[in-house]
Amino acid sequence: MSTALLLFRRDLRLADNPALQAALDSADAVLPVYIHDPEVDWKPGAASNWWLHHSLLALDATLRERGSALIVRAGNTHSELRALIDATSADAVHWNRCYEPAAIARDKTLKAALREAGARVESHNSALMMEPWMLATGNGDPYRVFSPFARRFNAHWQPSRMTETPTTIPWPSEAGHQRQGESAIAALELLPRIGWDAGFYECWRPGVDGAHARLDSFMAGTAGDYKRLRELPGIDGTSALSPHLHFGELSPRQCWAAAETAKAQGASEGIDHFQRELIWREFAYHLIYHFPHTTDTPLNPRFADFPWRVPADYAEDLKAWQAGNTGVPIVDAGMRQLWHTGWMHNRVRMIVGSFLTKNLLIPWQEGARWFWDTLVDADLASNTLGWQWAAGSGADAAPYFRIFNPVLQAQKFDTEGTYVRRWVPELSRLSDTALHAPWEAKPEVLAQAGVQIGRDYPEAIVDLKASRARALEAYERIKA
């Protein structure tokens, strides 16, 4: 009996899983394995680990329903795989590719070592519709601008057949009958020891079932008006599929197919815009693959000399931003939503990113690291793209001189204050006109709402007009 090892990473599903299908097609039995071996750089943050714990539990349960189970190990991936090969006499190893710089380097070394030891090793594409090397400009260069990338993607993308969830997954007889399940996953200690994650359970259902429930709900609900509703943080108008996509509980091909079905049923512009967001995700991976240094340094080399404030100068402001205590309501609402739910509305992500990098002149890397630790959808490619965009230093970046005014943004996208009142309840009794800039409200208006600035809600840590001028002055220093 031939046995193949199936190494799960960020592909925690059975349907449309090329590595699983290849293992089933080429071997009599398949041993599903997860090895917890985080990269040295950009180790998954606390929120990601919370999601991973629950997604692994869901995957193990799904495997058990099909006569299999998830073998869980922690340690060096090569050593653990070699031990499993020896124990099961497996002659093949399959996995789906990752595209982050450290993951690529790890996989090249791992593949070479296993092949040298006599194993057949195959990697597959599960995470993307088109892999980063498949699209290039007319000159053969990688893209740096989204619009031409999207046009090329649409011209070349051809959906292929997706495999369904297998009904059975043959278990290798050499693996014995020990199927650790929950205890082995718990031993990874992915969950927090202090219960700061209570709000996560109210918002999320990690695993394939939760992913498809959210996809179905979105397609049946707000998807048709997605382009408009996704801009309004006070309503549930986005897909919120990003963590499911990051952990591979859904594939982008499955999302694209669901969108095509919705369009066939009459939805159009909103669905087109949702598909455009899927292409943005592809673009993020295109960039991180071709420009791996951008996880830590700017794509635009001019910004290497940008006059950011130094840590000793901005430490207290950074803490206020992280805690949602800046005194700017829409910024604080976003940061508090992030802490409570592990997620933040995309429009608000842009607002808080602009505020940190431009009004506070704090390096974008500080924001990227905080998001990395606190987002359940922390994805290195998308996180890097988003923060370089906010700072003005990346591909398709907002020009540095385009500085979001958080008050005007709030008035436009949270007109009735639904979002701010939810996450900054101490201001909930303020009128719509006073809510977004309480420092401008008359004393009697504040008093009537029971708000005393500096006691019930912090004073703004920065003057928006003056800090905007400071940012523009800093930009001028690298403009030439």
Active site residue 387: yes
DSSP 398: P
CB 258 within 8 A of CB 21: no
Q: Which of 51, 95, 321, 364 is catalytic?
A: 364
Phi, psi of 334, rounded to the nearest 5 degrees: -65, -45
Q: Which of 280, 405, 426, 439 is catalytic?
A: 280
**CA dihedral sign of residues 162, 167, 173, 177:** positive
SS3 (DSSP) at 67: coil
Distance CA 470, CA 480 (A): 17
CB 90 within 8 A of CB 3: yes
Distance CA 195, CA 181 (A): 23
Q: Which of 204, 256, 387, 389 is catalytic?
A: 387
Q: Which of 11, 1, 54 is nearest to 32 (CA)?
A: 11
The length of the chain is 480
Active site residue 280: yes
SS3 (DSSP) at 274: helix
Exposure pattern of 14-53 as b/e (b: 16+ CB <10 Å)?
bbbbbbbbbbbeebebbbbbbbbbeeeebebbbbbbbbbb
Exposure pattern of 186-203 as b/e (b: 16+ CB <10 Å)?
eebebeeeeeebeebeee
Q: Which of 98, 95, 156, 125 is nearest to 289 (CA)?
A: 98
CB 46 within 8 A of CB 374: yes
End-to-end Cα separation, the chain, in angstroms:
68
Q: Which of 122, 131, 231, 277 is catalytic?
A: 277
Active site residue 51: no
- CA distances in angstroms from 114 to 33, 79, 328, listed in the order given: 16, 10, 54
CB 285 within 8 A of CB 128: yes
Q: Which of 308, 370, 389, 423 is catalytic?
A: 308
Distance CA 73, CA 417 (A): 48
Q: Which of 131, 157, 339, 346 is catalytic?
A: 346
Q: Catalytic residue positions?
A: 277, 280, 308, 346, 364, 387
